[in-house]
């Protein structure tokens, strides 16, 4: 069995709290590893290490910092297969999906290599008589990221890449369900030349999280997870004077207009709804066909495809998706399917009886498809985070748009149509942070920002793109004048540049 401790100050540290958690292998239900759960003292050790290392890293020019990230990317490429295997075994997603997880993180680090340009300030020559004005971006100091189980490579790199490029020291508290890849990333950062103490991994649960939230030397925190926890972290973190951005739950809709390419829409729903067993914050969990004819045709094509989904262990390269992350999470998703039936939705495809031959103790669930779901049902209101797709029928376009706007969450949304005017109107009026037009999972590329609205996001700045560099730096503005021999008396009025 593997033992995961912590990675602090460039070294592996065994857990000292005496508390541990199990890390499961979802494909067969076995315990793969145990992970140490940090206490406040261990968090303090990580902060001390980061605080000692950060000034020297901040004084390293941005181009040299970028070179370390370049070498890190080469190492990630060399260890890609190894990390994908670890990720798939601890999360349950397929190897191909695991490699996509890593690549999406890599793309943000690639963007962060542009730090020499992204950190440039502004300069005004002659802003006033003999006066020059300029601004500079400076690192915050020690910052932290609290990241979820469903993207063990991508989200840590979304946080760490820009933070480190900006000259900060970073403390990662990854999900205790999938700590293997974050620990490997720490080793690769060190091998790439990142100074010891600049990237630290502290594994743990709520005790570690609260220690991070309350620590006065940690200046900013980024979080991705469920909305209740996002609210908690945002309120407690900001109350202790930190800069915080938190990204929470989702209930992403895909609107199918009567003129949509139905084959394209169905394939989009299949991949976006059931890929990674639905354990994505950008998964499509609600299909909204407009008009009864559209709904009937959509269901006619969806049902056989959902019935034919190939579910298998992460090691099966032909599987559409693998098991869920834990038995507890599987039971939670099953309870939602049971609830949907009780609420009166029509379960047209029931995946509850699925058993994986040879892997009977694995955490598998067949694809589930509900029709005639109503907005007042809990299976519509709440995030299920599993391979469950709900169809909510809308009579007309305006009703479909209103459904999206009225929902508590506002992470991602899509519309499938051939009508440019409808698409343009939808993009303008929908109250959701990320919009896809004939694109089912509208995750922006690394040089744009990622973030949801309403209960899906808390804080003024989003993830990756230019917002990340704003989040992990503070702006200093300098007003400069070099006297030319003219002596002036004291002025008691507000300074102007007149």
pLDDT at 73 over 70: yes
In the predicted model, what is the mean pLDDT of the chain?
96
The string of pLDDT tens digits covering residues 460-489 is: 999 999 999 999 999 999 999 987 766 677
Three-state secondary structure call for residue 434 = strand
pLDDT at 409 over 90: yes
Side-chain-side CA neighbours of residue 493 (13 Å): 3
Q: Say if pTM beats, i.e. exceeds, 0.85.
A: yes
Catalytic residues: 281
- Domain ranges, ordered by start, for the chain: 2-248+456-478, 252-437
Task: Map 345-394 to HEC letters.
Answer: CEEEECCCCCCCCCCCCCCCCCCEEEECCCCCCHHHHCCCCCCEEEECCE
Separation CA 112–CA 226 (nearest Å): 27
- Cβ atoms of 86 and 183 within 8 Å: the answer is no
Q: What share of the chain is helix, strand, coil (3-state, %, to 5)?
A: 40, 25, 35
E-only strand ranges, 417-494: 434-437, 453-454, 457-458, 473-481
- According to CATH, the topology of domain 252-437 is Aldehyde Dehydrogenase; Chain A, domain 2 (3.40.309)
Question: What pLDDT is stored for residue 203 in this prediction?
Answer: 98
Question: What pLDDT is stored for residue 486 in this prediction?
Answer: 60
Separation CA 169–CA 139 (nearest Å): 9
2-248+456-478 homologous superfamily: Aldehyde Dehydrogenase; Chain A, domain 1 (3.40.605.10)
In this chain, the answer to whether the domains covering 2-248+456-478 and 252-437 adopt an identical fold is no
Task: State percent of the chain over pLDDT 70.
Answer: 99
pLDDT at 225 over 80: yes
- Cβ atoms of 7 and 174 within 8 Å: the answer is no
């Amino acid at each position: 069995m593997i033992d995961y401790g912590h990675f602090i100050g460039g070294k592996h540290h065994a857990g000292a709290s005496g508390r541990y958690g199990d890390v499961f292998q979802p494909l067969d239900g076995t315990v793969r590893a145990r992970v140490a759960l940090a206490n406040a003292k261990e968090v303090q050790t990580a902060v001390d290490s980061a605080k000692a290392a950060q000034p020297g890293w901040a004084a390293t020019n941005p181009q040299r910092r970028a070179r370390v990230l370049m070498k890190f990317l080469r190492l990630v490429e060399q260890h890609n297969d190894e990390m994908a295997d670890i990720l798939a075994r601890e999360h349950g997603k397929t190897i191909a999906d695991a490699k996509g997880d890593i690549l999406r993180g890599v793309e943000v680090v690639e963007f962060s290599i542009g730090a020499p340009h992204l950190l440039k300030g502004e300069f005004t020559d002659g802003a006033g008589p003999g006066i020059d004005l300029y601004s500079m971006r400076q690192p915050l100091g020690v910052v932290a990221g609290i990241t979820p189980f469903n993207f063990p490579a991508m989200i840590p790199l979304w946080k760490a890449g820009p933070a480190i490029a900006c000259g900060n020291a970073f403390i990662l508290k990854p999900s205790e369900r999938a700590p293997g890849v974050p620990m490997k990333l720490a080793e690769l950062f060190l091998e790439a030349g990142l100074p010891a103490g600049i990237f630290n991994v502290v594994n743990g649960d709520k005790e570690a999280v609260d220690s991070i939230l309350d620590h006065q030397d940690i200046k900013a925190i980024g979080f991705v997870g469920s909305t209740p926890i996002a609210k908690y972290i945002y309120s407690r973190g900001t109350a202790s004077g930190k800069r915080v951005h938190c990204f929470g739950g989702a209930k992403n809709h895909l609107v199918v207009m009567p003129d949509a390419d139905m084959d394209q829409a169905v394939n989009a729903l299949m991949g976006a709804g059931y890929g990674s067993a639905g354990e994505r914050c950008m998964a499509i969990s609600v299909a909204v066909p407009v008009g009864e004819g559209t709904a009937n045709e959509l269901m006619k094509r969806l049902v056989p495809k959902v019935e034919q989904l190939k579910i298998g262990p992460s090691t099966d390269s032909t599987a559409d998706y693998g098991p869920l992350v834990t038995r507890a999470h599987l039971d939670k998703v099953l309870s939602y399917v049971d609830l949907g039936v009780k609420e009166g939705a029509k379960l047209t495809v029931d995946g509850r009886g699925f058993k994986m031959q040879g892997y009977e103790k694995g955490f598998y669930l067949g694809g589930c498809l509900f029709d005639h779901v109503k907005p007042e049902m809990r299976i519509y209101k709440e995030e299920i985070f599993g391979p469950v797709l709900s169809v909510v029928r809308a009579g007309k376009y305006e009703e479909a748009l209103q459904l999206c706007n009225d929902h508590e969450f506002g992470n991602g949304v899509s519309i499938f149509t051939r009508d440019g005017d409808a698409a343009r109107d939808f993009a303008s009026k929908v109250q959701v942070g990320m919009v896809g037009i004939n694109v089912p999972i509208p995750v922006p590329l690394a040089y744009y920002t990622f973030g949801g609205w309403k209960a899906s996001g808390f804080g003024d700045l989003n993830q990756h793109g230019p917002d990340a560099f704003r989040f992990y730096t503070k702006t200093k503005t300098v007003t400069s004048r070099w006297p030319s021999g003219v002596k002036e008396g004291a002025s008691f009025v507000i300074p102007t540049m007149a």
